[in-house]
Structure 1
Amino acid sequence: MAPTQLELPLREKAQADGDASQNGSSRGPVTFGHALRDSQFLFDPSYRNLNHGSYGTIPHPIQTRLRHYQSLAESAPDRFIRYTYPQLLDQSRAAIATLLRAPPDTCVFVSNATLGVNTVLRNLVWHPDGRDEILYFDTLYGGCAKTVDYVVEDRGGVVGARSIALKYPCEDGEVVARFVAAVEASLREGKRPRVCVFDVVSSLPGVRFPFEAVTAACRERGVLSLVDGAQGVGMVDIDLGAVDPDFFVSNCHKWLHVPRGCAVFYVPLRNQAMIRSTLPTSHGFVPRAGTKRHNPMPPSAKSVFVNAFEFVGTLDTAPYLCVKDSIRWREEVLGGEARIREALTAMAREGGKRAAEILGTKVMDNASQSLTRCSMVNVALPLAVQPENGKALEGELASLPSFPESDMSAVTDWFLRRLMDEHNTFIALFVYGGQCWARLSAQVYLELDDFEWAGKTLKEVCERVAKGEYKQ
């Protein structure tokens, strides 16, 4: 039976400012900003979402699609899960593969990027001589860094790890140079650099990472490239056919306006034999011993890799089916990926600049502005952290109000509580280079005055920290 069709209400609750007509026909892409927020998104009117980079969000039309797929599943569970769902899933795989410029048979879905990174690192077979190493940059997302820690611990010394230190703001060439130096150091020490884990856009600080150049450097040196694009698809132009990583995963629920949780997991044909099991292992696993196990799902002519990820236990995977709908909504309503990228990069850069001017600080960027070639921006706060070793703060940090490093957890918690409870917002905070920073996310439902508001709000709370109010 063919999948039940439902026309996507692309302009449901369309803007009343003339960007869309009453009958839903388009007169061109919508104008980004608050009118789009109010007509298309689900936000509480009093809430300012400046942290899109953490969890993303969806518009009304995609929520409608999500509920449609969930209703289909409940209307006839066996028919949907066994027969309808695989057809709909193939449509979303084809849509995301087209967006990433990759063959459909190389793209499957998992629930989030961390699961994708886990899937690769837990499937790789390590040499028993104990020389293998996992390389990673020290800005790697904490959950993935802990995955590296776990694999090293769990394998009992068979594999080690090597962290590559970065000092932002630096140029892309320096990032590549530090990777090359780490590979050379590993080899000099008699180790075997097997795989390197790195970002598309790092989380904290939220900067664009030169993943294309590092992937090429991995290939030149025989190191597997595992690209954590948690912040990736929907924000950065990604051409997997040209970049050709060994493994790639990217959350669709962050920047692609897909419901949580959904991530595309890409493995080129040459490496699919390495990914023998999903997490958890399910019906798609093929034992080397040839043992026959009962599989309740219908027979499939798809590849072992695609078939394995099609059904991994009973989960609500309706978000996977929304991928094709979100891509279409972004094309027909927002004007397409190029328009979105250009607008959000410009908004992040200008918005970060305005917030920094209000705070009297700076934006984290390098001379080539490659760090801000994305939809997030890092703005320094007028607060420094006194190191516990007693060393005095130097340079511009010496003139800033400061608090002891031992108070950092208390300050962060107090700061975030004030933002949420008193200002009805959340802004990602972190300490880098001895200074406090805020990460702001640009998005199609925001305007530059949101960044100005953020600058004023952050300044007010920073002043309260400087007075020691967090100690109360």
Structure 2
Amino acid sequence: MVDKPLPYEFSRQLALTLLGSFGAAPRDIRKHMRHHQDLGEAMPDSYLRYEYPIILDECRDAMAKFVNAPTDTIVFVSNATTGINAVLRDLTWDSDGKDEILYFSTIYGGCAKVIDYVVDSSLGKVSSRPIDITYPCEDEDIVHAFHAALQSSVDAGKRVKICIFDVVSSLPGVLFPFEAITKACRDAGVLSLVDGAQGVGMVKIDLKSLDPDFFVSNCHKWLFVPRSCAVFYVPLRNQHRVRSGIPTSHGYIPKSGSRFNPLPPSNKSAFVTNFEFVGTVDSSPFVCVKEAIEWRERVLGGETGIMEYTQTLAQEGGRAVARILETKVLDNKSQTMSKCAMTNVALPIDVDLATPSTQDWMMRTMVKEYKTFVALRVHAGQLWCRLSAQVYLDVEDFEWAGHMLLELCERVRRGEGR
């Protein structure tokens, strides 16, 4: 494991939030991506029809080993939201109108909008039910809230068909008890849709042990794969439920019969071919997955050391920022919420001042004047900042962020941004 920052083409301070938002890839892996882009440009037909599918299969196999899953259950999509769409748009809802989608109030906003769209377009066939949670809370409180929501659904004459939940919540950025909720779904006969947008590369993912019904996780956030790339896992038992890639393309098998397919014949499953080609897009990030996994082992010493370093740094860095701001870190008594590479620190500003416009001013000012960005979010009557830890950062970077945030809060109290 390296003990010093790695060479990146952006400020180390910027990376305090970049990993949680959009990710960042090392130069070596971006060079690998551009090599494949050049191959595709030099001979598009040869590369895209005959060479790319073979390389893609190698990357699917590498990812399958990384998350401990069969290769034929693994495909790649552009991002986690695409995977969520693929599942929810393809599910069949009963015509009696009793089906429900269960989700937690800390859901990522984009995924919540997918639920809204499915409900709005279902013509009354499906509804949604939120599970309100307020951090900090214990894992067992979240499991209890899940069971209470199931009972509320029954009491309302409904039935929960699927539940969507995080590996690590986005805002605030805390570890969610995804393993316990996956098991609770299985025991209750509810489909589990795990949103691991913040997942692979940050926390250990073992899909054989977890056994979710659907799982998607961005590779461009924590695994060092260039944007944009996400692993999409669907076990064999559920692949019939996901009949189309997004967008629908040559891999789709219509019920009305076959159509002409200009791509080379394949003996792969319908699920794999659905996502192998979804139109002419730049899929070069997908073929960087194997290289990124090997790079992490070769340069950084492997996943155990990476996760130990980043999770420890997030905890120590969060405490350092809290000392500077004279506030607190968001965590529960058992400290399970902080077992990830992100930390959340309360800002010393009255929540009445933390209006949406003030938050927007603070984040815009970070970009314009401080050349950085830290995500802000009001939760449980308090304004929090979310900071990310990575191998090229150290506690001094968090301290820098703490002083920057303190200065911004002082400016708000003096009337700026309002």
**Which band: TM-score by shorter chain?**
over 0.9
2:3 to 8, 25, 31: 31
Separation in structure 1 between the aligned mates of residue 69 and residue 231 of structure 2, nearest angstrom: 12
Query: What are the equivalent positions in structure 2 for 1:211-290 lying under 5 Å apart?
Result: 211-289=178-256
Alpha-carbon separation, structure 1, partners of 2:30 and 2:101: 40
- What is the Cα-based RMSD across aligned positions, in Å? 1.0
Larger RCO, structure (CA 8 Å, separation 6 or more): 2
Alignment of 1:57-96 (within 5 A): 57-96=24-63
Q: CA deviation at 1:49?
A: 2.0
TM-score, structure 1 length as denominator? 0.87
Instruction: Give the one of 378, 381, 397 matched to 1:434.
Output: 381
Q: What amino acid sits opposite 2:347 in the alignment?
A: L
Instruction: Report the alpha carbon displacement of residue 167 of structure 1 after superposing the two structures with TM.
Output: 1.1
**Partners in 2 of 1:236 and 1:243 — Cα distance?**
13
TM-score, length basis structure 2: 0.98
- Give the letter for the 1:173 counterpart: E
- Structure 1 segments unaligned to the other structure (5+ residues): 1-28, 387-402
Residues 11-67 of structure 1 show CA distances to partners (whole Å, capped at 9, x for unaligned) of: xxxxxxxxxxxxxxxxxx43243xx2x3xx22257x632112100101111011001
The answer for the alignment partner of 2:83 in structure 1 is 116
- Partner-residue secondary structure (3-state), 2:119: helix
Amino acid at match of 1:31: D
C-alpha distance in structure 1 between counterparts of 2:250 and 2:350, whole Å = 53
Asked if the contact 1:119–1:279 (Cα under 8 Å) also holds between the matched residues in 2, the reply is: yes
Deviations 1:327-354 (A, max 9, x none): 0000110110111001000000000000
CA distance, structure 2, for counterparts of residue 44 and residue 463 of structure 1 = 24
Matches within 5 A, 1:360-439: 360-386=326-352, 403=353, 408-439=355-386
Please state if 1:447 is matched with 2:394.
yes
Cα deviation for residue 279 of structure 1 reads 1.3
User: Are 1:113 and 1:230, in contact at CA under 8 Å, matched by a contact in 2?
Assistant: yes
* CA positional deviation for 1:467: 1.5
Q: Does 1:334 align with 2:300?
A: yes
Q: Tell me the equivalent position of 1:301.
A: 267
- Matched to 1:437, the amino acid is W
Aligned match of 1:456 in 383, 392, 403? Answer: 403
Asked whether the equivalents of residues 384 and 434 of structure 1 are also in contact (C-alpha less than 8 Å), the reply is no
1:184 to 2:156 alignment: no
Contact 1:48 1:425 in 2 (8 A): yes
What are the Cα deviations for residues 102-136 of structure 1, in whole angstroms up to 9, with x where unaligned? 00000000000000001100000000000000000
User: For the Cα contact (< 8 Å) 1:42–1:58, is it kept in 2?
Assistant: no
Q: Distance in 2 between matches of 1:230 and 1:170?
A: 22
**What is the CA–CA distance in structure 2 between the aligned matches of 1:90 and 1:384, rounded to whole Å?**
53
In 2, the alpha carbon distance for the partners of 1:281 and 1:270 equals: 21
- 1:85-115 per-residue CA deviation (whole Å, 9 max, x = no partner) reads 0000001000110000000000000000000
Q: How many residues align?
A: 417
Please tell me whether the aligned partners of residues 2 and 391 of structure 2 are also in contact (alpha carbons under 8 angstroms): no
* Identity across matched positions, percent: 58
Mapped partners of 1:367, 1:44: distance in 2: 34
Query: For 1:379, what is the secondary structure of its paired residue?
Result: strand
CA distance in 1, matches of 2:149, 2:376: 29
What CA distance in whole angstroms lies between the structure 1 residues aligned with 2:25 and 2:388?
Answer: 15
| Residue 70 (structure 2) aligns with | 103
Amino acid at match of 1:114: T
Q: Tell me how far apart the structure 2 counterparts of residues 237 and 112 of structure 1 sit (CA, whole Å).
A: 19
1:253: Cα distance to partner?
Answer: 0.3
Amino acid at match of 1:419: M
The CA distance in 2 between the partners of 1:254 and 1:32, in whole Å, is: 20
The letter for the 1-side match of 2:110 is G
What secondary structure sits across from 1:250 in the alignment?
strand
1:345 counterpart = 2:311 = yes
Encode CA deviations 1:211-263: one digit per residue, 9 max, x unaligned.
Answer: 00000000000000000000000001010000100000000000000000000
Corresponding residue for residue 468 of structure 1:
415
Give distance in 1, aligned partners of 2:415 and 2:54. 59
